[in-house]
Amino acid sequence: ALNRSYKGKVQKHKERSYSYVQPLASYKVAILGAAGGIGQPLALLVKMSPLVSSLNLYDIANVKGVAADLSHCNTPSRVADFTGNSELADCLKGANIVVIPAGVPRKPGMTRDDLFNINANIVKTLVEAVADNCPDAFIHIISNPVNSTVPIAAEVLKQKGVYDPKKLFGVTTLDVVRANTFVAQKKNLKLIDVDVPVIGGHAGITILPLLSKTKPSVTFTDEEVEELTVRIQNAGTEVVEAKAGAGSATLSMAYAAARFVESSLRALDGDTDVYECSYIQSELTELPFFASRIKLGRKGVEAVISSEVGELTEYEHKALEALKPELKASIEKGVAFVEKQP
């Protein structure tokens, strides 16, 4: 939900200029992998943000047309296209937020970890460029397997001497979006009101919705908890199977990523009431990376909301213990990938 000061700002702006020709703020967002299934609708949604003045789109293919198309929308941000390694630096210079959905998606029968061999290299190369050109930017990692690509990004940034753990985010917003939708449907609630925190990671059983912390407060039977938890954990696979070889979630992911971008922009712009779940470097458990609700501020993660994880039901507690070995292995795989590079 937009807080009051932000709503007021938008309202004032609307009164001043109905067609939104001037941005409300002047943030620069770069999307790497912008011509892909997620990249295109995400670029469209970010183009609609009144807080963005500059939208830089980078891809290894087809990005010129996407940018030309998008640039005709009469919203304030300027759109520019960049392609190939030689243009990556220019795409990134001055960026406040870099979103990375570059990489290959799953096909039926694959796990997210099956994407590791290709996507690990892509993320490593792109984050090296971020480190060189906009080390101060918020980095939003979408490319799977997120449980490993975020630790890869952290190691790359450490090697470059510019790692700020408060500014590196694995995007797990889609898990929250799904949890909110499925819970609202199941319990016949107004969608806009429902908020379910999702912790852990972003693959199979590492995705742990805390249904007991659903707002507004709802009671679930044991069967409902089991059914909803499993559906949220397998929602990505549900889409992969429905797309039958044509990829994985793109539209709902773009929606979720745009929400996380908008929340980050609001935080950068001084809104003091911005909360999201994200997979970050964390001390909440013994695992070095862990998704939980966080408070976002101008400098990135301002606080980790530990209370929700401190009061788990027996079901959630068991699920948390059960996910730890898999998440630990995925983190270690990412770290080892960067360490063993020549």
Q: Which of 104, 209, 103, 167 is nearest to 302 (CA)?
A: 167
Q: How far apart are CA 151 and CA 244, in angstroms?
A: 30
The answer to the question of residue 199 lying near ligand LMR (CB under 6 A) is no
259 burial level (CB within 10 Å; 0-12, 13-18, 19+)? middle
Secondary structure (3-state) at 67: helix
The answer to the question of residue 171 lying near ligand LMR (CB under 6 A) is no
Which of the choices ligand LMR, ligand NAD, none does residue 200 contact, using the CB cut-off of 5 to 8 A by kind?
Answer: none
The answer to the question of residue 167 lying near ligand LMR (CB under 6 A) is no
Torsion sign, CA atoms 107, 111, 117, 123:
positive
Contact 234, 144 (CB under 8 A): no
Which of the choices ligand LMR, ligand NAD, none does residue 240 contact, using the CB cut-off of 5 to 8 A by kind?
Answer: ligand LMR
Q: Which is nearer to ligand LMR, 112 or 266 (CB)?
A: 112
Contact 134, 92 (CB under 8 A): yes
The answer to the question of residue 194 lying near ligand LMR (CB under 6 A) is no
Which of the choices ligand NAD, ligand LMR, none does residue 239 contact, using the CB cut-off of 5 to 8 A by kind?
Answer: ligand LMR
The answer to the question of residue 327 lying near ligand LMR (CB under 6 A) is no
Catalytic residue among 13, 72, 202, 317: 202
For helices 146-159 and 116-133, the axis angle rounded to 10 degrees is 40
Q: Which of 123, 143, 223 is nearest to 231 (CA)?
A: 223
Which residues bind to ligand NAD, rule: CB under 6 A? Answer: 32-33, 35-39, 58-61, 101-106, 115, 119, 122, 126, 142-144, 146, 171, 174, 202, 247-250, 253
Contact 63, 82 (CB under 8 A): yes
Q: How far apart are CA 44 and CA 42, in angstroms?
A: 5
* Minimal CB distance residue for ligand LMR: 236
The answer to the question of residue 144 lying near ligand LMR (CB under 6 A) is yes
**What mask of x and - would describe binding to ligand LMR in positions 94 to 133, judged by CB under 6 A?**
-----------xx-----x---------------------
Q: How far apart are CA 288 and CA 334, in angstroms?
A: 12
Question: Which tokens go with 104?
Answer: 């290959």
Which of the choices ligand NAD, ligand LMR, none does residue 99 contact, using the CB cut-off of 5 to 8 A by kind?
Answer: none
Beta strand extents in 36-110 (DSSP E only): 52-59, 78-83, 97-100
User: With contacts defined by CB under 6 A, how many residues of the chain interact with ligand LMR?
Assistant: 10
Which of the choices ligand LMR, ligand NAD, none does residue 35 contact, using the CB cut-off of 5 to 8 A by kind?
Answer: ligand NAD
User: CA 153: distance to chain centroid?
Assistant: 14
The answer to the question of residue 140 lying near ligand LMR (CB under 6 A) is no
Residues near 72 by beta carbon (within 8 Å), at least 6 away in sequence:
none
**What mask of x and - would describe binding to ligand LMR in positions 223 to 262, judged by CB under 6 A?**
-------------x--xx-------xx-------------
Which of the choices ligand LMR, ligand NAD, none does residue 95 contact, using the CB cut-off of 5 to 8 A by kind?
Answer: none
Q: Is 202 a catalytic residue?
A: yes
Instruction: Report which DSSP code applies to 195.
Output: B
Name which of residues 282 to 311 contact ligand LMR (CB under 6 A). none
Residues near ligand LMR (CB under 6 A): 105-106, 112, 144, 174, 236, 239-240, 248-249
As annotated, the active-site residues are: 202
